[in-house]
Chain A
Amino acid sequence: MSERKTVMSVNGTEMFSPPSNILIPTRDEGKKPVLDVRGLGIDFGGLRAVDEFTITVSPTEISGLIGPNGAGKTTVFNLLTNVYKPTRGAILLDGHPTAGKSVAQVNRMGIARTFQNIRLFDQMTVLDNVRVGMSNNIRCNFAESFLRLPGYFKAEKRSRERALELLSIFHMESEAYTLAGNLPYGAQRRLEIIRALATEPKVLLLDEPAAGMNPSETHALMESIRQIRDQFGIAIVLIEHDMNLVMGVCEGIAVLNFGKVIAKGTPDQIKNNEAVIEAYLGRQEKKEA
């Protein structure tokens, strides 16, 4: 546990033992981690879906979570957002434990996410989808809503302007009034990211944001992810199968296989890690990894 005192964003495995703070983005040096996950684990019946999951994420870090299908990546996100109650371990957000909080409360504490299988409010407009994300940041009580008091108009105006501003990140202002369900696939994924951002998170979790996107869309997404980090100054954790995206944008990467972290490190370290290559290629004779 002592090695965490040096502000390391991603702890190395014994294999690399990286020099103390090589992985921390220099801009985050000396800052406390925004997300501190210790020994997280969950069992589904007999299945250890996630076990001994430990990471720290610094305040403006972009990190990646990769691994073969069924490795437990989405389950980690569900644990981080309290959709599942962990069997073991603890999650500290900005030093505060999230145990016992509801999903909505965890969001209000500062963790927002997108979903691998898109979950938009299909019957609502793009603009209103974003505004739902802003629900806890706009002040407008029931009386103001029922009676259309001045506070209502102020809240509506402010939320519309803010939502359009957020939509402009992905140049989606012109689609503000189409129904979210009618958007093409890639646009739906982008809208989910904007909606999550609208909740003003400290940590943004993206579950396969590039799934179903073509290479040029993926490339644009990569730029946008960096832009979001710079503009909002938040930490981003992303699950992704597109290695160009992961290696291109992530500063630290953790690799998951059968619910266990098998490697952590910089993109370069991960690329050359034997255990990782094995996990992906599935070599039979060295199954102990």
Chain B
Amino acid sequence: MKKFLSRINRRDALTLLVLVGIFAFFFIMLETGAASNQFKNMIIPMSYYILLAISLNLMVGVLGELSLGHAGFMSVGAYTGCFLSVMLVEKFPELPMYVYLPVAMLCGGLMAALFGVLIGIPALRVKGDYLAIVTLAFCEIIKTVIINLEFLGGAIGFDTDSIVPDRNKALTLLPYAAFAVIVSAILIMNLVRSKHGRAIMAVRDNRIAAEACGINVNFYKVAVFGIAAFFAGIAGVLYGHNDVLLKSANFDFNMSIEILVMVVLGGMGSNMLGSVIAAVVMTALPEMLRDFSDYRMLIYSVMLIVIMLFTSAPALAGIRERLSLGFIKESLQKKMAKKAEKKKAGKEEEK
């Protein structure tokens, strides 16, 4: 056990623990019927937003490339997966969900990954703000193309009601969501802590030095586009199965920005815990502020600004440090050491 623990990064272990905790909480709330309708409706969105935030963090925080196309990759996954599910359910009405949903997720993810690679290759030529614009344009193009595809429902939307017939969707989908999100998070964190993850971070920190170290920068950039898109695609499949009608207009600029805000608020970089928490909070906040009706968006925006300032303002670095886990641990250790010393001193006096 100890050997096993020493083999995983502590921060990743904590992230994993939090994820398992979140999903265990969801299960208990649903099973015991303690969940309000409002909360029930938030559970699956929280799950796919966690996955979206983690995968975008791989792109923005680990590779260091600003992408506003995540909603686009998500929609590719959503439409591919849902189309497949609808087909399968139509052809084989007896087919259980645990067969077609995983197949849909995998195919949705793979299709999104293919798009990721296809966008990634031309996007190699641009950086920073320009890349953001290119990915944004891609997102809009996908949206427009799908609206004009009759077999995907066109402007009316793609009817996905048949694929998750259960009325209590949250409980039906939760095991799949939990499995998909936790496994994806493990895979992404494993990648980051490997030789390849280090190469990706090297590209972020100093592209020229990375090249001089023999790293094929273009390869890694395209690979990350593909990998991040893959997981966004899986999140899209979850999204599609949770709704009764898939409308491509929903996968717009706003959605990409929302995911990006989660990543930024959570603190970009190799630690995924921030993205997880930010995704949960940011999905819950607008819902919880519904009671304030008119002021909802105002309060939401103000809170975002406050959080943003708190997480990044240099003037508040001291406070942040005090609140960080490392600091708490250190101060605890100091206290323990002091106690031990006192004990020692006491014993010596006794002698």
Give how many B residues have a beta carbon under 8 Å from the other chain's beta carbons.
26
Q: Is the CB of A107 within 8 A of B194?
A: no
Q: Give B195-216 as 1s and 0s: 1 = Cβ < 8 Å from A's Cβ atoms.
A: 1111101101110111111111
Q: Is the CB of B196 within 8 A of A119?
A: no
Q: Which residues of A contact B116 (CB under 8 A)?
A: none
**Residues 173 to 201 of chain B near chain A (Cβ within 8 Å):** 187, 190-191, 194-199, 201
Q: Is the CB of A132 within 8 A of B212?
A: no
**Residues 148 to 181 of chain A near chain B (Cβ within 8 Å):** 148, 152-153, 155-156, 159
Q: Is the CB of A146 within 8 A of B211?
A: no
Q: Is the CB of B205 within 8 A of A199?
A: no
Q: Which residues of B contact A132 (CB under 8 A)?
A: 198-199, 202, 210, 213, 215
B120 at the binding interface (Cβ < 8 Å): no
Q: Is the CB of A81 within 8 A of B212?
A: yes
A131 at the binding interface (Cβ < 8 Å): yes
- Give the distance in Å from the alpha carbon of A195 to the alpha carbon of B198 in the complex: 13
Contact of A119 among B7, B201, B208, B215 (CB under 8 A): B208
B108 at the binding interface (Cβ < 8 Å): no
A47 at the binding interface (Cβ < 8 Å): no
Q: Which residues of B contact A113 (CB under 8 A)?
A: 212
Smallest distance from the beta carbon of B255 to chain A beta carbons, Å? Answer: 27
Dominant SS at the A interface? helix
A230 at the binding interface (Cβ < 8 Å): no
Q: Which residues of B contact A147 (CB under 8 A)?
A: 187, 190
With contacts A121-B202, A145-B190 taken as known, whether A140 is within 8 angstroms of B209 at the C-beta atoms is no
Q: Is the CB of A153 within 8 A of B209?
A: no
List, sorted by A's number, 21 A–B pairs whose CB atoms are closer than 8 Å.
A103-B211, A104-B212, A104-B215, A104-B217, A108-B214, A119-B209, A119-B212, A121-B201, A123-B204, A124-B198, A124-B201, A128-B198, A132-B210, A133-B214, A135-B214, A142-B191, A142-B196, A145-B190, A147-B190, A153-B7, A196-B212
B contact set with A: CB distance below 8 Å:
7, 187, 190-191, 194-199, 201-202, 204-206, 208-217, 269
